[in-house]
Structure 1
Amino acid sequence: MFRRFLTTARQRGATLLRQCDDWWRGLSPSRQDRFAALAPLAAVLLFMAAIVAAFWYLRTEEAEREHEALRRDVEYAQQRVRLRLLERQEQVMRMARDLSNQDLAEDAFGQRAEALVNQYPELQAITWVDEYGRTKASQAAPSLPAELTRLRGEVLQGDETAQTFDLVREQQQPVYAQQTVKASQPVPLLQLQVPLNVQGRFNGVLLAEYSVDSLMRYGTPTEVLARYAITFLDANAQVLAGTPLAPRTRALPWGSMGVHDANAYEVSISPVGDRLVLRAQAYRTSLGVVGSGLFWLVVTLSAITVWMLLATWRHTRRRMQTQLALVAETNFRRAMENSVLTGMRALDLHGRITYVNAAFCQMTGWSEEELVGQFPPYAYWPESDYEHLQGHLQDELSGKTMPGGIQVRVRRKNGALFDARLYVSPLIDAVGKQTGWMTSMTDITEPNRIREQLTASHERFTIVLEALDASVSVAPLGSHELLFANKLYRQWFGSQTAGHLQLVAQAGVLPVSSASSAEDEDGLMGLPTDSVTSAHTENAEIYLPDLGKWLEVRSRYLSWVDGRLAQMVIATDITPRRLAEEQAARQTERAQSVSRLITMGEMASSVAHELNQPLTAINNYCNGCISRLRNGQLSEEALLTALEKTAHQAQRAGQIIQRIRAFVKKSEPNRQLADVAKMVAEAVELADIELRRHNVRLTHHVAARLPPVMADAILIEQVLINLMKNSAESIAQADRPPSGRSVELRVVPKTIEGQAVVEFAVQDTGQGLAEETRERLFEAFFSTKQEGMGMGLNLCRSIVESHQGRMQAQNLYNGSEVTGCLFSFWLPLAAPPSDTTNTVANTHPPRTIA
Structure 2
Amino acid sequence: MSSRFDVKSQLRRWSQPLRLLATTWWRRQSPSRQDRFATLGPLISVLLFLAAIILAFWYLRNEEIEREQEAVKRDTEIAQKQIQLRLIENQEQLVRIAREIATRATDTHEFNTQASTWARDRPEITHVTWLSNRRERRASVSAAGYQADSLMALDGGDPSMPAGTPGSAAESVFQLVKERRQPAYSQAFSDANNTMVFQIQVPLIDRTGFSGVLIAEYTVEGLLRYYVPSDVAVRHAIAVLDSRDLVVASTVTPMPGQKLKKPSIFHEVPLAPAFNGLVLRGQGYRTSVGLISNTLFWMVVALSVLTVWMLLGTWKHMRRRMQAQNALINETNFRRAMENSMLTGMRAMDMESRISYVNPAFCAMTGFSEGELIGRKPPFPYWPPDRYEENARLLQQEIQGRSPAGGAEVKVMRKDGTTFDARMYVSPLIDPKGKQTGWMTSMTNITEAKRVRDQLSASHERFTTVLEGLDAAVSVLSVQQGELLFANRSYRLWFGADPKGHAMLAGGQLSRSKEDPDHDEEVDDYSGLPAQPLMEVGADPREVYIDSLEMWFDVRARYLQWTDGRLAQMLIATDITARRRAEEQAAQQAEKAQVTSRLMTMGEMASSVAHELNQPLTAITNYCNGMVSRVRNDQIGKDDLLAALEKTAKQAQRAGQIIHRIRNFVKRSEPQRAPSQAHDIVEDAVELAGIELRRRNVAIHTYVAQRLPTLMVDPILIEQVLMNLLKNAAEAIDNAGLPVSRRHIELRVVPKHTPELGANIEFSVTDMGPGLPEEVIVRMYEAFFSTKADGMGIGLGLCRSIVESHQGRIRAENLYNGSAIVGCRFSFTIPVEIPRHEAPGTASNTAETP
**TM-score where L is the length of structure 1:** 0.33
**TM-score where L is the length of structure 2:** 0.33
